[in-house]
A and B are shown apart, each in its own frame.
Chain A
Amino acid sequence: MTAEEFKQFVKTNGVKKAATEVDVVTTGTFGAMCSSGAYFNFGHTEPPIKMQRVWMDGIQAHAGLAAVDAYLGATELDETNNMMHGGAHVIEDLVRGKAVRLKATAYGTDCYPRKEMDTYVSLKTVNQAVLLNVRNCYQNYAVATNSSSRTLYTYMGKLLPEFGNATYSSAGELSPLLNDPYYRSIGIGTRIFLGGGQGFVIWEGTQFNPGVPRTPEGVPKRPAGSLAVIGDLKQMSPDFLRGLTFTRYGSSLGLGIGIPIPILDEEMARSCAVTNDLIFTAVFDYSQQTRSRTVLREVSYAALRSGEIDIKGKMVPTSSLSSLYKARQIAQLLKTQIMKREFMIEKPIQNFSLERVFKPLDVRTEKEAM
Chain B
Amino acid sequence: MKTKVVLNFNPELANQPITNNLIAKHHLNVNILRAEIDEIGGKMVIELSGKADDIRRGIDYLKQNGVGVRPIKEGVRRDDDVCTHCGMCVSICPTKALAYDPKTGKITFTEEKCVACGVCIDACPPRAMEILI
Residues of chain A touching chain B, judged by Cβ–Cβ distance below 8 Å, are 30-32, 84, 157-158, 160, 164-167, 242-247, 252, 254, 305, 307, 316-328
Contact = CB atoms under 8 A, between A and B. Distances in A.
A30 B84 contact: yes
B87 interface: yes
Looking at chain B's contact residues, the main secondary structure is loop
Contacts of A325: 84-85, 104-107
Nearest to A256: B84
A32 B89 CA distance: 15
B88 A157 contact: yes
B23 interface: no
Nearest to B124: A245
B95 interface: no
Interface string B96-133: 00001010111100000000000100110111000000
Contact of B102 (A30, A31, A84, A305): A305
Contacts of A164: 91-92
Contacts of A157: 88, 123, 125
B89 A244 contact: no
Contacts of A30: 84, 86
Contact of B85 (A160, A165, A166, A323): A323
B76 interface: no
Given A157-B125, A160-B92, A319-B87, 7 more contacts: A30-B84, A31-B86, A242-B84, A242-B126, A317-B90, A320-B87, A322-B86
Contacts of A246: 125
Nearest to A324: B105
A240 B13 CA distance: 49
B91 A165 contact: yes
Chain B's interface size range is 20 to 34
A165 B98 CA distance: 14
Contacts of A32: 125
9 contacts: A157-B125, A158-B88, A167-B91, A242-B84, A245-B127, A319-B90, A320-B88, A321-B86, A326-B84
A30 B100 CA distance: 16
Contacts of A318: 90-91
B125 A319 contact: no
Contacts of B122: 158, 247
Considering residues A247, A254, A325, A328, which has the most beta carbons from chain B within 10 angstroms of its beta carbon? A325
A254 B105 contact: no
Given A307-B100, A324-B105, A325-B105, A167 B88 contact: yes
B91 A252 contact: no
Contact of A317 (B91, B107, B123): B91
A31 B89 CA distance: 15
Nearest to A305: B102
A254 B91 CA distance: 20
B91 A166 contact: yes
A40 to B, nearest CB: 24
A305 B92 CA distance: 15
A25 to B, nearest CB: 18
A90 to B, nearest CB: 15
Given A160-B92, A165-B92, A305-B102, A321 B123 contact: no
A238 to B, nearest CB: 9
Considering residues A244, A305, A319, which has the most beta carbons from chain B within 10 angstroms of its beta carbon? A319
A305 B125 CA distance: 19
Contacts of B123: 157-158, 247
A321 B90 CA distance: 10
A319 B92 contact: yes
B15 to A, nearest CB: 33
The 9 lowest CB-CB distance pairs between A and B, nearest first, are A165-B91, A319-B91, A244-B125, A325-B105, A324-B105, A317-B91, A325-B85, A158-B123, A320-B87
A104 B13 CA distance: 55
Contact of A158 (B84, B92, B100, B126): B92
B125 A324 contact: no
Nearest to A322: B86
Contacts of A166: 91
Contact of B89 (A252, A319, A324): A319
B95 to A, nearest CB: 12
Given A166-B91, A317-B91, A323 B125 contact: no
Nearest to A157: B88
A89 B38 CA distance: 34
A316 B106 CA distance: 21
A271 B114 CA distance: 42
Considering residues B87, B100, B122, which has the most beta carbons from chain A within 10 angstroms of its beta carbon? B87
Interface string B21-39: 0000000000000000000
